[in-house]
Structure formats: C-alpha cells, structure tokens
Amino acid sequence: MRRMAERPPRRIAFIERHPRWWPDVEAAAEELVRATGRDGTFLLVDGEGEWEAVCVEVGDDQPAARWIETRTLPAGEWAVSTVDGRPAERLRERADGRPAWLARAEEAPTGEGEYEPGGETFGLSTRLGEHAGLRRIGVNVDVVRPGERSTKFHWHHEEEECFLVLSGGGILMVGDEAFRVGPGDFFAKREGPERPHQFVNDTDQDLRILTIGEHRGDQAEYPAAPWQPGDPPPAAR
C-alpha cells in the first residue's frame, strides 16, 4: 500500500540499476553503504514500481566516484511504499510546482565518465538533457579535472556534436592538431573521420564544458590517441 509524504530537498548518492553491472538491488545497496559510510538506503521507483536506483542521503561534500552518482531530490509530495522489503519512493508533485522539463542543474544526475567499471575515468558529467526528458539530443555539463582527458580520442559515423567551454582552460586535440581553448571557445564536430577529438586538461583547475550531441545509436571509432594520461603535456597553438 502506498501513502503520501512531504519531503524537503535531499542530497543523495545513488547507484542506478544496470542490466550488466548492477542488476541486483542487494549488491547495489551493499556497495552504496560501503562507499559512502552511510546507512538508511531507500529506492527510487518508476510508475510500475520497479526500482531505478538505490539511494542514501549524504552531505553536500559527498563526491561522485565511479558508479556512485549524486544529485538533489526536490522538495515535494512523494509516494512512499516498499519494494522487496526496502523503503521506496516516487515523486508525485514538486513543492515549487515546476514541470519536469524545467530542471535545476543540481537535480540532474552527476557521475564519473568511464567506459568500463574500474577503468580510466573521464571527469564528471551532469546529464541535464536526459534528466529533463530529451530523447534525441544529449546535453551534459562535463568537468575535466587536471591531468585528465574528456573522452577517448574518437569520431562518430552519424552523430554531430558540439562543445562550449564554460570555464577553465585546456587543449582541444582534433586530428593531428592541438588548440589552446578557454571560456567562450565553441567546437563544432560533424560526423565522420575528419575531426576525431578529445579535450585535455593540462592546467591546475577544472575545465568545464557544455556538451551537446545527437542520440542516433551509431558506431564510434577510436583511432590511436595522440595523448593519453601519463604522457607529457601536448603542445598546442
């Protein structure tokens, strides 16, 4: 049986359900408690009552790391129930009356980018577009930390992408060229092999980038990278 409860804003760490990495709620909850040192896990569920994420309340200083993501749950009316003996919640109505398509950045999921669990990480991504309901366009705010690259050197067969540097600085590597970039620089990348790319942060401050790209489910290619972590800083013009 479900009941309704008024909740204040809550900062959470969570593990999303994943058919390969985290299909089991018990394993996800155990890992979340281990990684955060906090008890009191609960589930976020969809309209059919299926669990989407295992969550725990944390402080503002809790970082996203590997498969542990963070976000802020809005104040509002939440449907409260249990799923497999665990407390479960689903947002029914926000306290501020905002629709789902008008989102605040801190409420969108933020997690580390990685191609496989335990592998190289590629900074932090806040998935704004997905959170607000976009289906055909991805919109992220990416943070490339000092000494990291934004992604593996790659290009897409069908998808266009574009990038706006918001703050910080670094190097944009495109093909066999490298360019120094900073706030206000905008990189437009069409589909095809002419502009394989990656950003490299060779500074001591975070590099923040607004990233927009299509969702076509196409194939990406990964040519030999001109720079990888541990290499000397690339020369740029």
The whole-angstrom separation of Cα 180 and Cα 204 is: 15
pLDDT in tens, 190-231: 999 999 999 999 999 999 999 999 999 889 999 999 999 889
Instruction: State whether residue 175 is helix, strand or coil.
Output: coil
Contacts of 184 (CB under 8 A, 6+ apart): 164, 165
Q: Does 2.60.120.10 match the CATH number of domain 110-221?
A: yes
Residue type, 14: F
Distance (Å, rounded) from C-alpha 158 to C-alpha 175? Answer: 18
pLDDT at 128: 97
Q: Does residue 142 have a pLDDT over 70?
A: yes
- Cα–Cα–Cα angle for 94, 99, 102, rounded to 5 degrees: 115
Averaged pLDDT for residues 135-147: 97
Q: What is the pLDDT of residues 87-108, one digit of tens each?
A: 999 999 999 999 999 999 999 9
Judged against a pLDDT cut of 90, whether residue 117 lies above it is answered with no
| CATH 2.60.120.10 in the chain, residue ranges | 110-221
Q: Residue range 35-49: average pLDDT?
A: 94
pLDDT value of position 237:
84
Would you state the pLDDT for residue 211? 98
Residue 10 has pLDDT above 60, yes or no: yes
- Residues of 74-111 as b/e, b for ≥16 C-beta within 10 angstroms? bebebbbbeeeebebbbeeeeeeeeeeeebeeebbbbb
The helix/strand/coil state of 129 is helix
Q: Which residues pair with 210 in a beta bridge?
A: 141, 164
Taking CA atoms, 147 is separated from 25, 70, 132, 233, in Å, by: 35, 23, 31, 9
